[in-house]
Structures are given as structure tokens and as C-alpha cells.
Structure 1
Amino acid sequence: MASLLSKANLARGRDEVYVAAMPLRATKGPAQLVMSSAYSLNFWDFQHFMVILKTSSPISPPQVLVFDFQPNDPEDIYVALAVLSGKTVPGTVLVRKMKTMPRRKCWLVGYSKADGVGIANEFNKNWDTNLRVGLHDCRDYTNGLVKQLTGEKDVLRRLRSTGS
């Protein structure tokens, strides 16, 4: 019981760090259907990963912010073809507010070491936005940002090995 209380005290005042998975976006039609099906069947390699921060502040209500990295136009068929052929495509880092937390495929992975939003913004300033699937994509972004926020290395490997 004492360890639970000490963990709660350690976490107080720090931002909660989550990892979430969503279906990969694709052009409308058969490609989008395939991506949605792969996500529903829990095929790990066909999911888009992102980091969610639930802020903790004594002076303002909590906010839920999403940080992710994706192609500039993930629904463009030419981008999809370039990605499938292993080419680099222009990417973008997105930061947006959410009204509620995802109910599925969203895992609390820890607490930020300090101001999570500040750490994430600094990380984003230095992130190379040339996207190449398998070498520099949303998985690398998620692992890198979680490492900066919590210190945990390769969080996606842990989540995958636990069957989450």
C-alpha cells in the first residue's frame, strides 16, 4: 500500500504520457478498407502510432494533446506508392488538442520527467521531417518522444511484447 501511495505522490504534478494507435490513413476506397481492416485485426505493422500528453497543472484544467508524425498528405495515392517503394516523402509533425482520450488502443506508459509540453516542443524542433517507412516514421517518432519525456527506450517494443 505504501508503494502505491509513493507512486501517486511521485506522479502528482507531472504530465501523463500515453501511446495510442490508429488506423493508417489511405486513399478512399479499397486502400482505406485494407488499412481499417488491418487495424481492426490488430496487425501491429499497419497502425499509426502517436504520443498523447494529459497535462497536469495546479492553475489550469488538464489538456489532452496529441503529438504525431505522418506524411504531409497521407491520402495521396502518389505518396502511398512512394512509401511502398521505400522512398522518402515529405512529412509533418502535428500537435493538436483532443476533447477526450481514445477508448481503444491507448496505453499509459509513464509520466513526464518535467514539463511535457516543453519537452515535446523542443523535440519537435529538432525532428527531421523526411519520412521513410521502416527507417524514420511514426514509430521512430513515438519511441523518441517517449524516451525524451519519460526516459523509457523503445516503448513500442514493450507494448508489442505484452500483447497490448
Structure 2
Amino acid sequence: MKTIVVVMGVSGSGKSTVASLLAERLGCAFQDGDDLHPRENVEKMSRGTPLTDADRLPWLQAIARHIDGWRERGEAGVVTCSALKRLYRDIVVGERRDVALIYLKGSQALIHGRLAARTSHFMPLGLLDSQFATLQEPAEDERPIVVDIGPEPSQIVREIARRLAERC
């Protein structure tokens, strides 16, 4: 069975870094979900305006189509998606039992510090509060692998790989 993984968490939790390292470790494709955002969404967030559920829907559907493409071709892959609400995860993961959900969990203070130091991303620091306000942590029935973001990315990736292997 080919592993398909969705790496979720608020902006600044390390999704892109961890997911790209995980894809490298697993020897599979990597897709940064942010690259699938419609241009209008990126512009809106760049202005400091939170996205609405309606704004997010085409983006979430694009990620789901990307995942389904991997599944149809029998390929493995790792994709990032903030997936802050259960509703969003239902679109991206849903009933796809072959897709693993990784939740990168960290404190607001830790993530605030990371975002404050970041200069190369369209997501402004001012939207972090709205991300945490929106966040609905994954429920047990979603079968998430919850990982603390405190350790170095390489340690986080080793932990995720170990826990994915336990599932097989």
C-alpha cells in the first residue's frame, strides 16, 4: 500500500518543512498545499484578511483532487494543508482510509515566535490569532498522528515515520 499523508496545523507549525523532509524520507512526492490556493486567496491573506469557508472550498477541493490523483495512480505522497476545521479535513481526508493525517501541534507562543522570524511567506503574523480561533483539533475518530513541534524537524520526521510504520 502506498502511503499518502496530509500534514496539518496552523501557519508557522512547520508543515512545509516537516512534510518535505517526510516525503524525502519516504521517497515519495511532496506537494505544498499553499501552492494550490487560488490567487485571490493569497492576495486576501497577504492583506491580512482571514479566509472564509467559501474562500477555502476551491482550495480544499484542489488538495483533495491532488490526493485522489496520487491514489488513482497508486503513488505515495505528502501534502500540506492547514485543515483547521473538521469540515475541511472531511473534504481533504474524509473517508479515504488510506490517507494518514498528521497534526503538528504547538503552543501559540512558540508559533508566534516562529512567524515573527519568518519573512518569506504570504501569511502575516496578524492572522495567527484567527488561525487558533478557527482550529478544531482532530478527534480520535479521524485517526490523527499528533506530534509536538518542539523538537527539531528531523526528530519530528523520525517520530512520524515510526508511527506511520506502526500502522502498516
Structure-2-length-normalised TM-score = 0.30
Bigger fraction of residues in strand: 1
Q: Which has the larger radius of gyration?
A: 1
- Higher RCO (C-alpha 8 Å, min separation 6): 2
Structure-1-length-normalised TM-score = 0.30
